[in-house]
Chain A
Amino acid sequence: MSSKGKAPLLDASKVNADLIKLTYGALVAQIVKDYERPEDVNKQLDKLGYNIGVRLVEDFIAHHNIPRCLDFRQTAERIQQAFRFYLGMQPSVGNWSPAGNEFSLTWEQTNPIGDFVEFPDHLRPLQYSRVLCGAIRGGCEMVQIDVTINIAREFLLADSATELRVKFNKRLEDALPVGED
């Protein structure tokens, strides 16, 4: 099912993408065992992703020297870029809503983290890609952007692509010390 095994990278700080996918799969399987109800599992995956995003964004910004985004389109580009850096698979950005506050990240004919997955029927409510949503949400929150993300299409559930729908809610404000306004 997967692309042919890629040559291991020489850089010790990076690991083979397949290893990540397999580890993540094993982790999901374990969480399914622990929580049983798919809804609870989704919640855990979202939390997992959120915690990843919160840290990753700091790393991403520091190393690529990224300035603050001026509009939501730039944000979309950055998210796209971040996926390329950390996952090696770049989604396409598109399907903008007329108001420009909602877009889709799409991986055609694939799921970036689901190469080795077969979905049993009784787990259909399980959102395997929830971790990606959590990561985007966590990352955006740290740069004061509040977003909501839904999984519009899931390749693993026989859709033609994996599509995440990202919606801009509001800008968050810096915390001010008590007594200031």
Chain B
Amino acid sequence: MIFTLYIFDPNGNCIFYKEWTRRRHLKMAQDEEFKLTYGLIASIKAFSTRLSPVEPKDGFHSFATDKYIMHFFESTTSMKFLLTSDLTAPSLRDLLHQIFLIYTETVCRNVLVPARGRTIDSQLFISRLETAIQQSPYFSSK
């Protein structure tokens, strides 16, 4: 089951957030939550690279608890995509890469949208994202 999706731009602004299934909410403002999430990812990324016993390459992919997995994908241009799912899902990096493709096709190519730092409000992006997520075999719970 897929729970939530966060997209961060290289400056750490959350430019897109969407939840499909989320039963618990934090007792804090949403932008506070985004900031903490970004901070967590930045720290994990930096520290896991430093700890690496062998030469690091791609960096950090995901972390898991007993209830959920947080999948992470970062494009070479430092766009960060985070997806939380339940434990049945394997690596969802392909799906995240697909979301990145949808983002470039519907947002980057649209000259009317500033290139960086704006919240995504493209309807085309949202509808194609929705299709991609719902077609994923891990979308609904079993």
A145 to B77 alpha-carbon distance, docked (Å): 10
Across the A-B interface, how many residue pairs have beta carbons closer than 8 Å? 57
Contact status B11-A62, CB under 8 Å: no
CB-CB under 8 A from A61, the residues of chain B are 75-77
Q: Mark A52-74, 1 if CB is under 8 A from B, else 0.
A: 00110111011101111000000
Binding site for B on A (CB under 8 A): 51, 54-55, 57-59, 61-63, 65-68, 142-144, 174-177, 179-180
B52 vs chain A, min Cβ distance (A): 16
Given known contacts A58-B108, A174-B42, A180-B39, is B115 in contact with A68 (CB within 8 Å)? no
CB-CB under 8 A from B104, the residues of chain A are 58-59, 62-63
Selected from B77, B100, B101, B103, the residue in CB contact (under 8 A) with A142 is: B77
Q: Which of B12, B77, B116 is packed against the most chain A CB atoms within 10 Å?
A: B77
Closest to B77 in A: A142
Selected from B11, B43, B75, B97, the residue in CB contact (under 8 A) with A58 is: B75
Given known contacts A61-B75, A62-B104, is B39 in contact with A55 (CB within 8 Å)? no
Asked whether B72 is an interface residue with its Cβ less than 8 Å from the other chain, the reply is no
What are 27 A-B pairs at a CB distance below 8 A?
A55-B109, A55-B111, A55-B115, A57-B77, A58-B79, A59-B104, A59-B105, A59-B108, A59-B109, A62-B75, A62-B97, A62-B100, A62-B103, A62-B104, A142-B77, A143-B77, A143-B78, A144-B78, A174-B42, A175-B10, A175-B11, A175-B12, A176-B42, A177-B12, A177-B39, A177-B42, A180-B42
Selected from A54, A55, A67, the residue in CB contact (under 8 A) with B76 is: A67
A179 to B35 alpha-carbon distance, docked (Å): 11
CB-CB under 8 A from A142, the residues of chain B are 10, 77-78
Of residues 74 to 107 in B, which have CB atoms within 8 Å of A's CB atoms?
75-79, 97, 100-101, 103-105
CB-CB under 8 A from B77, the residues of chain A are 57-58, 61, 142-143
Given known contacts A175-B11, A177-B35, is B76 in contact with A143 (CB within 8 Å)? yes
A54 to B12 alpha-carbon distance, docked (Å): 17
CB-CB under 8 A from A175, the residues of chain B are 10-12
A173 to B35 alpha-carbon distance, docked (Å): 18
CB-CB under 8 A from A66, the residues of chain B are 76
A175 to B46 alpha-carbon distance, docked (Å): 12
Sample of 4 more A-B contacts, CB < 8 Å, known A62-B104, A177-B12, A177-B39: A58-B79, A59-B109, A63-B104, A65-B97
Q: Which of A67, A177, A179 is packed against the most chain B CB atoms within 10 Å?
A: A177
A40 to B103 alpha-carbon distance, docked (Å): 34
